[in-house]
Structure 1
């Protein structure tokens, strides 16, 4: 039967709306913008949970399979006018051409500059030093007065020559700034001691998160600006200071009203351990609020005398560690068997633990056993070690059976070691990093109860990538007891399935 079109009477037909008069477009601006803020910026790459809305290659195209802010920009003039400021709330830039384009846009339309809340320049790179970048950045900062977060370029061709005017507006000219990232930036410690010259000493900064990671310079330039900056951080909560020139004296200058929850001071050459431990255990800003502490060092810098002193300081820190700690990383710091009891206490509440030097796999196994020292486990562990040494003499003969023998030994060890009562209660420790341990001790993970139900809460164990042999022995051993192996950079992750 041929199709015939049915005519709808004129009085029953819906009249076509004029452009800009749809139900969505006629909503009040504040309601329409609230709706648009729930849409995604589905263009470009994603970094740290924020979509890169502006920096996409020429070959990339906009995906319109689901409603996005960019599809709204193409829909109508009303939606464009309401969606455009929202797209500028979070700006991520990795090319100088994009940086110049954004600067031109907010210069011509200052309303867009006042819409920017987050500015990420961390991936911005150039082939040669550009001193004029400092002036351009100063102009952009002047046009973004309500900025909440800024991540400066990690490229030292750009950040080594930041002027005092740029630092001054970053530290004193942005009253809403909460996150300030100086990662890999040496300008903060290379002069500019007059940044706070026009600001009274009692003027506190609104900054809650500060990163100075990898910003160390010559020791002579250390005390240029940091001693003036830290006493003004009354609201600071997160401090990423690894590989910087921070000292214990500078840390003690932090106001007692601050409440620091995250502190990273890995590989800080001027930070003396004894003064730092005193700071952690006595300063009001950290002693009752610290949740994350990363304080790894390079063990090659320690001689025999300093190692013994460092062991005492490490034990003191573990013994008096804040009960609020959830992540503790002390890779490279010397530890002894006396530290095991304190680590066992931390393992009951912490979720992330990085072990220092001097411990054995047996010491770590006691963290998950009912007693600190289990003689039967020690004997079993010693037997396994001796058998492994014997087997190594016959590697050429037993090569085809090596994996099967290793798997049998692990299963026998797991079946003969009693599972502690608390294993079913899921202790808190979920991530254990043992890469700082001696390599021979790390290799004993292949026959350790850490791979069994004894460590029921443990989800990931990080070991040296040197354990990833070409034959895949470690991978097969782990797979036999419900673990998988993944290489990630210079570390190898054993993950419970």
Structure 2
């Protein structure tokens, strides 16, 4: 408050700048644009191939975050200079939402473009996933013709169902600058099988025609209410996308044999498959290890819904390219014998979600060895054996702090035991910044209270997610985190610790 008063006293009596001559307005367009972009909240990445983070952005936000929609409209009234820079930013990414008024927001947008046709060239992203679907069949073809520079289009599955076959083909093939297409089932009343009806309209396309799409997302959303998909649908459709770099099939059933029909010229950087339809996942593992579209370019692979066997997991770990930065094998079966393969991957991985079957000792070895040596973890007593009987509960006020102090001493002693191994001093360190151990047994997750991962030698590790940890162990971590440079977070049933 005092600094504000000091600033006010300095500014009193100072002549105001003439329009367009202030220090802010004299900044280059690039700097002024960056400043205005800071006013817009960042949204979590979905299937973006350029996102720096993926899994960490899926963590729930704090309940104290309001996530209010920030409007840059007041910037238009500051000056002509600010107006010229802010207007393209306002219209660059348009998301239409349903409002309780007489005029549809989609119709208002088209009317604004009719009044000022130059606005159409500013729109790069159009998101209709939260707008009412009524009348879309008549408005969408017109809007596609009005938006020549549209690069990203987000539609509801129910909206796609309203379009005639020619309009559907225009969405996939008729927009020269469209790079990203998202089809999302955000309405619970929409039959998820509509997606297959939409894709069937593409089967009659000329084989010589190809789409320019770089990112395709088909998220049916309803995991357990899907009929079995016709395996030929994706086989017949995916071959028309030679430029694909991102494919998101979250909660969409697909026969993994259909993936083999993907155009060999495609170079995937992002692949998410959470509902593999096969009775076994052998074909999917073979595709990931051998297909030219993924075996040299893949950056993000989310197979969180696929239960790979240990043998298939071994095949995957051996076949992933050095370009991989994010790996989610949460439901896969793993074993201690795969630690060397995971160690090799962690030299370039930045986000890792491990599967079932590993221990906390294995996880520590994956991230810390062979570069570091450290003492073995102290064996833990069963939680049932340390609970205080009701008749001795009055001693808990004394025993509780003593027990916490002993736990902290054991952790500090183990962290102090970490030392570099001279013969492995040139070995590459792990680059993992985000680690998800939620698939480990609850008892193994609880061993994080005595883990060397909480020490400084585990850097650059920044997040550790342990969603299935017991209440007792989560309370223990809450007491330990502050003393070793971490803070605990708990939101929407997910527990994680974050390095300060």
Q: What is the TM-score with the length of structure 1 in the denominator? A: 0.75
Alignment of 1:399-410 (within 5 A): 399-410=400-411
Q: Pick from 444, 455, 464: which aligns with 1:461?
A: 464
Give the drift of 1:432.
0.9
Q: Deviations along 1:107-143, whole A, 9 cap, x unmatched?
A: 4554433442221223x155xxx45333333332232
Q: Aligned-residue CA RMSD in angstroms?
A: 3.9
**Displacement after TM superposition at 1:148 (Å):** 1.0
Query: Which residue does the alignment assign to 1:4?
Result: none
Displacement after TM superposition at 1:436 (Å): 0.9
| Corresponding position: 1:194 with 2:189 | no
Aligned match of 2:264: 256
Cα 1:419/1:410, change in 2 over 3 Å: farther
Other-structure match for 1:99? 106
Does the 8 Å contact 1:167/1:188 carry over to 2? no
Partner of 1:175: 176
Structure 1 counterpart of 2:218, from 195, 212, 215: 212
Residues 182/270 of structure 1: CA separation in 2 closer, same or farther (3 Å cut): farther
Matched residue, 2:14: none
Q: Which moved more, 1:268-277 or 1:238-247?
A: 268-277
Aligned 8 A contact 1:264 1:294 in 2? yes
Provide the residue aligned with 1:280 in structure 2. 288
In the alignment, the residues of structure 1 paired with residue 164 and residue 421 of structure 2 have an alpha-carbon distance, to the nearest angstrom, of: 60
Q: Higher relative contact order at CA 8 Å, sep ≥6: structure 1 or structure 2?
A: 2
Kindly indicate whether the alpha-carbon contact (under 8 Å) linking 1:116 and 1:147 is maintained by their aligned counterparts in 2: yes
Q: Name the counterpart of 1:10.
A: none
Q: What is aligned with 2:247?
A: 239
Conserved? CA contact 1:355–1:434, under 8 Å = yes
User: What is the deviation of 1:254?
Assistant: 1.3
SS of residue paired to 2:184 = coil
Q: What is the CA distance between 1:363 and its match in structure 2?
A: 0.9
Of 440, 443, 448 in structure 2, the residue corresponding to residue 445 of structure 1 is 448
Separation of aligned partners in 2, 1:493 and 1:426: 23
Q: Which SS does the other structure have where 2:366 is aligned?
A: helix
Shift of 1:275: 0.3
Superposed CA deviations along residues 183-226 of structure 1, whole A, max 9, x for unmatched, are: 337443234523353x4212221111111133577435545753
Determine if contact 1:148/1:177 at 8 Å carries over to the other structure. Answer: yes
Q: Secondary structure at the match of 1:480?
A: helix
Q: Secondary structure at the match of 2:219?
A: coil
Task: Tell whether 2:485 aligns with 1:482.
Answer: yes
| Deviation of the 1:231 alpha carbon | 0.4
Give the 3 Å change call, closer, same or farther, for CA 325–167 of structure 1 in structure 2: same
8 Å CA contact retained: 1:242, 1:264:
yes
Pick which of 393-402 and 265-274 moved more. Answer: 393-402
Partner Cα separation in structure 1 for residue 310 and residue 117 of structure 2: 57
Structure 2: stretches of 5+ with no match in the other structure: 1-17, 23-27, 46-68, 187-191
The aligned counterpart of 1:316 is: 315
User: Match of 2:380, SS?
Assistant: helix
State how 1:84-483 maps to structure 2 within 5 Å: 87-95=90-98, 97-122=104-129, 124-126=130-132, 130-153=133-156, 158=159, 161-184=162-185, 186=192, 187-191=194-198, 193-195=200-202, 197=204, 199-214=205-220, 218-223=226-231, 225-270=233-278, 272-297=280-305, 310-371=309-370, 377=375, 380-381=376-377, 383-386=378-381, 391-392=386-387, 396=393, 397=396, 398-420=399-421, 426-464=429-467, 466-467=469-470, 472-483=475-486
Describe the shift of the 1:288–1:109 C-alpha distance in structure 2 as closer, same or farther (beyond 3 A). same
How much has 1:85 moved relative to structure 2?
Answer: 6.3
How far apart are the structure 1 equivalents of 2:253 and 2:482? Answer: 44
Once the two structures are TM-superposed, the CA of residue 457 in structure 1 deviates from its matched residue by 2.6
Q: 1:286 and 1:274 mapped to 2: Cα distance?
A: 16
The superposition leaves residues 361-397 of structure 1 with CA deviations (integer Å, 9 ceiling, x where unpaired) of 01111124445998x84xx42x432486754467954
Find the counterpart in structure 1 of residue 497 from structure 2.
494
Deviation string 1:339-380 (CA, Å, 9 cap, x unpaired) is 111111111221111100011101111124445998x84xx4
CA distance in 1, matches of 2:256, 2:474: 48
**Superposed displacement of residue 319, structure 1:** 2.5
Deviation by residue 1:467-497 (Cα, 9 ceiling, x = unmatched): 4559943211121211111124332221122
Residues 39/225 of structure 1: CA separation in 2 closer, same or farther (3 Å cut): farther
Q: Distance in 2 between matches of 1:235 and 1:467?
A: 46
Secondary structure of 2:342's match?
helix
State the distance in 1 between where 2:317 and 2:340 align.
Answer: 9
Q: Highest CA radius of gyration, 1 or 2?
A: 1
- Please state how far the C-alpha of 1:257 moved relative to its aligned partner: 1.0
Q: Alpha-carbon deviation of 1:316?
A: 1.8
Unaligned runs of 5+ in 1: 1-16, 25-31, 50-58, 300-306
The alpha-carbon distance between structure 1 residues 108 and 341, as it changes in their structure 2 partners (threshold 3 A), is: same
When normalised by structure 2's length, the TM-score is: 0.75
The size of the alignment, in residue pairs, is 437
CA change 1:400–1:87 in 2 (3 A) is closer
Take 1:429 and 1:36, find their aligned partners in 2: how far apart are those partners? 35
Partner-residue secondary structure (3-state), 1:323: coil
